[in-house]
Structure 1
């Protein structure tokens, strides 16, 4: 039988109220915000809808390029040719032509800082299984599926409007997280604010990320805009030990995108904080034991537990301990037998494994007789009482 125990988990930092953080009312048509440090989803709005990602999908081309650099299939100093197809792209470009041979490092900086559509196509043709951008797009889709990005399909390397080129905001956040964690040596490139390639594109030298100059910890990753997609941004910021990742899409202007992104960063860091909730080896509850030397066993976490909480959370948090019990002895110390389920106000639940705090051997004969007697008495006391017979 599944047992529920109400538990009160103490927090180390007493605060004033036990209120949920105010929900963020985003103007974006779709959005996803996650605290990367704890994995807590702070906001999801149409997060799994497959939408045109515009230039934000360039992050997938960059991820595959970084994999090729890591595996030795590309080098930063290698120079790649520019095809007529790559040269044909309009929009944001590095103004490449077919006489160029461009280093991989310059192409990567051109994608990140200048949002070069032509640079993406050059990388795509170099890494494509069949030498074409279309073949690279098919590989992008396959690789995305392998990475768990199940709501992403690609038709090109750069987000140029094309049928079937779609990503969800959750997938873009997953991709951003992988770029940050898998390629820490390349990630600083995303905070580069200016790149004047060969002096040939003076009107396209600055990173369009509106947060980089604000001093709020923002250090990536990619803007996007088409008439179909609106204005979007895959952003990340780090303050002290916390990092957030967010994706917004469908804003009406670059100004609205900048304002929304800054508001998200301020909200995520000011309204939430990581707080300790349980200490390793300290009992948070106890579980009933069947046929054991002891009638209960303490339930303890195996490691210190910290969680993201609204800053207005008071010094205790209500929680539930769930286990199937009573638990039959013998029980070994550190045997997992329960879960601590904590649901901070306004946030998703977190489940923490709990183990036995000590050994509970099988009880002796008299102990087992006492346990059975207790169960029988309990059942008798809980049995319904028959109504008294009425006389005629």
Structure 2
């Protein structure tokens, strides 16, 4: 008997019950175009899905200014996570770190400061001295640390980024090609910061930090103006303009905005909030599947068990226009000729999500438990049943 693979079942289920006929007959209103922002470049992305909701010149190479420190902090967090560093480790402050110009934490040369305090200084105060001190401690020199930054950028897929220092300060004698990034790459980095180091990401929501009896406020003013905003970093140089990477979470949706080259501090905040509000107003994040949550059972022939539970192995999210989730349809496609043995995680079929005629997602269905081969009598009986089913 030739191989037979037919659809065991094709369950079509409206995820949210509504009048399907009316929904199909009434076309939704078109989403308005994103607002025009006063910036050289910007990008708005759904954190969970990576879908870009709005953009302007996202691949334009620009100086990132202190947005560079997101990578500096990411490397510190990476070293702590992998055992190369501890928050209570003491860092010797060099005269080179102490004399770094620009925004400062005011660490004293020759003093020893914990990694934890330097991270607060780096993230909250945007301290250039704290940044250089950490870079020298981890990389042996700032130049050694910069090589680590660029290697990590490559790992993360930041293909249009080159770092020349740990601070984002203008490179002395360097041109625009000596230290640069893009809105797209900085969004990749911001997603990695939140995803890979969630505990350290909480530092980005701290509103003020005091070191050496000097209290400084976080320069991300959106933390004060919108309770949904919880990070992440500001930047400014005369060449870069005013820059802001911001993240906000409302309900189940987290958005990341990257805005580069605004004219002033107020503008970078108001324009970032405008694009965030646009994304939350007209889009929503939908979790289609929950990791390893049983979705049903399918027949198994010749096994110790008659069926096996199926699921999707990972959480899976999609970004849809607000209201479109009501019209989502899911279809299970599984063979009716599954034969034991079956192993945990073995692919048994597909789960498709449709929006009208558009395939939104195609997800593998896997076995949640193993099914061992049955005894001789079971296998023989099932063999005959399969002939006549």
TM-score, with length taken from structure 2: 0.72
Aligned to 2:122: 111
Contact 1:20 1:312 in 2 (8 A): no
Q: Does 1:198 align with 2:188?
A: no
1:75-154 → structure 2 map (5 Å cutoff): 75-128=86-139, 131-154=140-163
Aligned to 2:190: 176
Determine the C-alpha separation between the residues in 2 that align with 1:149 and 1:342. 32
Stretch deviating more after TM superposition (41-50 or 108-117)? 41-50
Q: Summarize the Cα distance change of 1:73–1:232 in structure 2 as closer, same or farther, 3 Å threshold.
A: same
Contact 2:94 2:110 in 1 (8 A): no
- The one-character-per-residue Cα deviations of 1:90-138 (angstroms, maximum 9, x if unpaired) are 111122332432221111100111100111000001111xx22122112
Contact 1:17 1:313 in 2 (8 A): no
SS of residue matched to 1:139: helix
Contact 1:58 1:157 in 2 (8 A): yes
- The one-character-per-residue Cα deviations of 1:294-349 (angstroms, maximum 9, x if unpaired) are xxxxxxx9559763321253843699x9x9xxxx997889967778575799xx97
Give 1:195 deviation, angstroms: 0.7
SS of residue matched to 1:121: helix
1:259-338 → structure 2 map (5 Å cutoff): 259-275=270-286, 303=312, 307-313=318-324, 315-316=326-327
Q: Summarize the Cα distance change of 1:281–1:123 in structure 2 as closer, same or farther, 3 Å threshold.
A: same
Determine the C-alpha separation between the residues in 1 that align with 2:203 and 2:30. 37
Contact 1:30 1:249 in 2 (8 A): yes
Determine the C-alpha separation between the residues in 2 that align with 1:276 and 1:101. 47
Point out the structure with max Rg over C-alpha: 1
Determine the C-alpha separation between the residues in 1 that align with 2:316 and 2:68. 36
1:24 equivalent among 11, 16, 34: 34
SS of residue matched to 1:212: helix
Determine the C-alpha separation between the residues in 2 that align with 1:121 and 1:344. 54
TM-score, with length taken from structure 1: 0.71
Q: Summarize the Cα distance change of 1:19–1:182 in structure 2 as closer, same or farther, 3 Å threshold.
A: same
Q: Summarize the Cα distance change of 1:192–1:314 in structure 2 as closer, same or farther, 3 Å threshold.
A: closer
Determine the C-alpha separation between the residues in 1 that align with 2:195 and 2:14. 32
Q: Summarize the Cα distance change of 1:349–1:126 in structure 2 as closer, same or farther, 3 Å threshold.
A: farther
1:242 equivalent among 246, 249, 253: 253
- The one-character-per-residue Cα deviations of 1:145-173 (angstroms, maximum 9, x if unpaired) are 12222222110001011242112222212
Task: Output the aligned Cα RMSD.
Answer: 4.0
The ranges of structure 1 where at least 4 consecutive aligned residues each deviate by more than 6 angstroms after the TM superposition are: 276-279, 328-339
Q: Does 1:227 align with 2:235?
A: no
Q: Any unmatched runs of 5+ in structure 1?
A: 1-7, 283-300, 365-392
Contact 2:15 2:329 in 1 (8 A): no
Q: Summarize the Cα distance change of 1:258–1:135 in structure 2 as closer, same or farther, 3 Å threshold.
A: same
SS of residue matched to 1:51: coil
Give 1:208 deviation, angstroms: 0.7
SS of residue matched to 2:227: coil
Determine the C-alpha separation between the residues in 2 that align with 1:161 and 1:270. 38
Determine the C-alpha separation between the residues in 1 that align with 2:90 and 2:268. 35
Aligned to 2:16: 12
SS of residue matched to 2:199: coil
